[in-house]
Amino acid sequence: MGIQIDALKCTGCMACEMACGYHRDDGFALLSSCIVAYRTKEKKDYFGVILKRDEDLLIARPEGTEIKRIGETEAAADSGKKADASAKPMLLREACDLCEEMDLGPMCIKFCPFDAISEA
């Protein structure tokens, strides 16, 4: 199982980020989240999501999904910075564990109000 993200449905509400932070830290700790909502300053109503996985970053943008392997560190980290994501670089965050110990399953899927995140 994996996670897929449809950025065209995303509104940048950050519910997934808060849910993941809660899963990671038993509190609403955004810096612990391995999924991050982002917007760009340049484009209005442009939302996307970055997911840290074991070996790569999944970057879902309205124009499509990109996968950056973690070896490509600068490009990957840049994607987070340019996207105006949280201050903590994605590469320092823990990778998604698919909420394997959570009875409810992946929290980001449960809490996304627009069904932008689903199981792959």
Asked if 97 interacts with ligand SF4 (CB under 6 A), we say yes
Name which of 23 and 61 has its Cβ closer to ligand SF4.
Answer: 23
Matching residue, tokens 């300053």: 41
Centre a 10 Å sphere on the Cβ of residue 98 and count the other Cβ atoms it contains. Answer: 17
Question: By CB under 6 A, what part of segment 4-63 binds ligand SF4?
Answer: 10-16, 19-20, 23, 34-35, 37, 49, 51
Residue 57: exposure state from Cβ atoms within 10 A (0-12, 13-18, ≥19):
buried
Name which of 37 and 77 has its Cβ closer to ligand SF4.
Answer: 37
Asked if 96 interacts with ligand SF4 (CB under 6 A), we say yes
Residue 22: exposure state from Cβ atoms within 10 A (0-12, 13-18, ≥19):
middle
Residue ranges binding ligand SF4 (CB under 6 A): 3, 10-16, 19-20, 23, 34-35, 37, 49, 51, 96-99, 106-108, 112, 114, 116-117
